[in-house]
Protein backbone atom coordinates (compact mmCIF):
# COMPACT_ATOMS: atom_id res chain seq x y z
CA UNK A 1 0.00 0.00 0.00
CA UNK A 2 1.45 3.45 -0.86
CA UNK A 3 2.39 5.58 2.14
CA UNK A 4 3.52 9.13 2.84
CA UNK A 5 7.31 9.30 2.48
CA UNK A 6 8.11 13.03 2.42
CA UNK A 7 6.59 16.42 3.18
CA UNK A 8 7.43 19.97 2.15
CA UNK A 9 6.84 23.22 4.00
CA UNK A 10 6.57 26.37 1.89
CA UNK A 11 7.75 29.66 3.38
CA UNK A 12 7.82 33.32 2.46
CA UNK A 13 10.71 33.77 4.90
CA UNK A 14 12.98 30.70 5.07
CA UNK A 15 14.97 31.90 8.10
CA UNK A 16 11.81 32.60 10.11
CA UNK A 17 10.24 29.23 9.23
CA UNK A 18 13.49 27.38 9.95
CA UNK A 19 13.74 29.04 13.36
CA UNK A 20 10.09 28.24 14.19
CA UNK A 21 10.39 24.50 13.49
CA UNK A 22 13.81 24.19 15.14
CA UNK A 23 12.67 26.08 18.26
CA UNK A 24 9.29 24.35 18.64
CA UNK A 25 10.06 20.75 17.64
CA UNK A 26 13.87 20.57 17.76
CA UNK A 27 14.09 19.50 14.12
CA UNK A 28 17.44 19.61 12.29
CA UNK A 29 17.15 21.78 9.15
CA UNK A 30 20.11 22.10 6.82
CA UNK A 31 20.72 23.45 3.34
CA UNK A 32 20.58 20.84 0.59
CA UNK A 33 23.57 20.41 -1.67
CA UNK A 34 21.32 20.53 -4.74
CA UNK A 35 21.40 23.47 -7.10
CA UNK A 36 17.97 24.73 -6.03
CA UNK A 37 17.28 26.69 -2.84
CA UNK A 38 16.09 23.82 -0.62
CA UNK A 39 16.53 22.78 3.00
CA UNK A 40 16.33 19.19 4.28
CA UNK A 41 14.17 18.73 7.39
CA UNK A 42 15.17 15.85 9.68
CA UNK A 43 12.38 15.24 12.20
CA UNK A 44 13.88 12.45 14.31
CA UNK A 45 16.24 9.54 14.59
CA UNK A 46 16.33 6.78 11.96
CA UNK A 47 14.87 4.16 14.32
CA UNK A 48 11.91 6.34 15.36
CA UNK A 49 8.56 6.60 13.54
CA UNK A 50 8.05 9.60 11.31
CA UNK A 51 9.21 11.01 8.01
CA UNK A 52 11.63 13.69 6.93
CA UNK A 53 10.85 16.50 4.55
CA UNK A 54 11.93 19.75 3.00
CA UNK A 55 11.63 23.50 3.40
CA UNK A 56 11.53 25.75 0.36
CA UNK A 57 10.60 29.25 -0.76
CA UNK A 58 6.88 29.67 -1.45
CA UNK A 59 6.29 30.10 -5.18
CA UNK A 60 3.47 32.30 -6.40
CA UNK A 61 0.68 33.68 -4.25
CA UNK A 62 0.87 34.05 -0.50
CA UNK A 63 -2.05 32.51 1.40
CA UNK A 64 -4.82 34.98 2.33
CA UNK A 65 -6.82 34.99 5.57
CA UNK A 66 -10.08 34.24 3.74
CA UNK A 67 -8.66 31.58 1.40
CA UNK A 68 -10.05 28.09 2.05
CA UNK A 69 -7.58 25.37 2.93
CA UNK A 70 -6.63 23.31 -0.10
CA UNK A 71 -3.67 21.28 1.04
CA UNK A 72 -2.75 18.18 2.99
CA UNK A 73 -2.43 18.70 6.72
CA UNK A 74 0.57 16.97 8.25
CA UNK A 75 0.18 16.03 11.91
CA UNK A 76 3.14 15.95 14.29
CA UNK A 77 3.25 13.51 17.21
CA UNK A 78 4.02 15.30 20.50
CA UNK A 79 4.42 13.90 24.03
CA UNK A 80 2.45 16.73 25.73
CA UNK A 81 -0.05 18.67 23.61
CA UNK A 82 -0.46 21.51 26.11
CA UNK A 83 3.29 22.10 26.26
CA UNK A 84 3.54 22.20 22.47
CA UNK A 85 0.54 24.52 22.09
CA UNK A 86 2.38 26.91 24.41
CA UNK A 87 5.66 26.52 22.46
CA UNK A 88 3.90 27.17 19.16
CA UNK A 89 2.40 30.44 20.43
CA UNK A 90 5.66 31.47 22.12
CA UNK A 91 7.51 31.14 18.81
CA UNK A 92 5.02 33.09 16.68
CA UNK A 93 2.56 30.37 15.66
CA UNK A 94 -1.20 30.41 16.24
CA UNK A 95 -3.77 27.87 17.36
CA UNK A 96 -6.53 27.59 14.77
CA UNK A 97 -8.45 24.76 16.43
CA UNK A 98 -8.15 24.19 20.18
CA UNK A 99 -7.23 20.71 21.37
CA UNK A 100 -9.99 18.14 21.04
CA UNK A 101 -10.31 14.51 22.08
CA UNK A 102 -10.44 11.54 19.75
CA UNK A 103 -11.95 8.73 21.78
CA UNK A 104 -9.48 5.92 22.39
CA UNK A 105 -6.76 7.69 20.38
CA UNK A 106 -5.65 10.94 22.03
CA UNK A 107 -5.76 14.72 21.74
CA UNK A 108 -5.30 16.81 18.60
CA UNK A 109 -5.23 20.47 17.56
CA UNK A 110 -4.57 22.52 14.42
CA UNK A 111 -2.10 25.40 14.30
CA UNK A 112 -0.51 27.87 11.91
CA UNK A 113 3.24 28.31 11.62
CA UNK A 114 4.92 31.68 11.05
CA UNK A 115 4.37 31.26 7.29
CA UNK A 116 0.60 30.69 7.67
CA UNK A 117 0.85 26.97 6.88
CA UNK A 118 -1.64 24.82 8.79
CA UNK A 119 -0.41 21.72 10.60
CA UNK A 120 -1.74 19.38 13.25
CA UNK A 121 -0.29 18.15 16.51
CA UNK A 122 -1.43 15.02 18.35
CA UNK A 123 -0.73 13.50 21.75
CA UNK A 124 -1.46 9.76 21.88
CA UNK A 125 -3.62 8.77 24.84
CA UNK A 126 -5.79 5.65 24.44
CA UNK A 127 -7.61 6.48 27.72
CA UNK A 128 -9.30 9.56 26.19
CA UNK A 129 -13.10 9.21 26.25
Residues above pLDDT 70, as percent of the chain:
89
66-82 tens-digit pLDDT: 666 557 789 999 999 99
The CATH number of 7-124, from 3.30.2020.30, 3.10.180.10, 3.40.50.740, 1.10.490.10, is: 3.10.180.10
Q: How high is the mean pLDDT of the chain?
A: 89
9-51 tens-digit pLDDT: 999 999 999 999 999 999 999 999 876 789 999 998 888 878 9
Residues 6+ apart with CB under 8 A from 64: none
Sign of CA dihedral 44, 72, 58, 115: negative
Nearest CA to 73 among 106, 113, 37? 113
Amino acid sequence: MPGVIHFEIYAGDIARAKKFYQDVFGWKIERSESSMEYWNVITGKENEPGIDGGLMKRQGMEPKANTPISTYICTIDVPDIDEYLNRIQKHGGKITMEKRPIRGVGWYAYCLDTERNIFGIMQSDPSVR
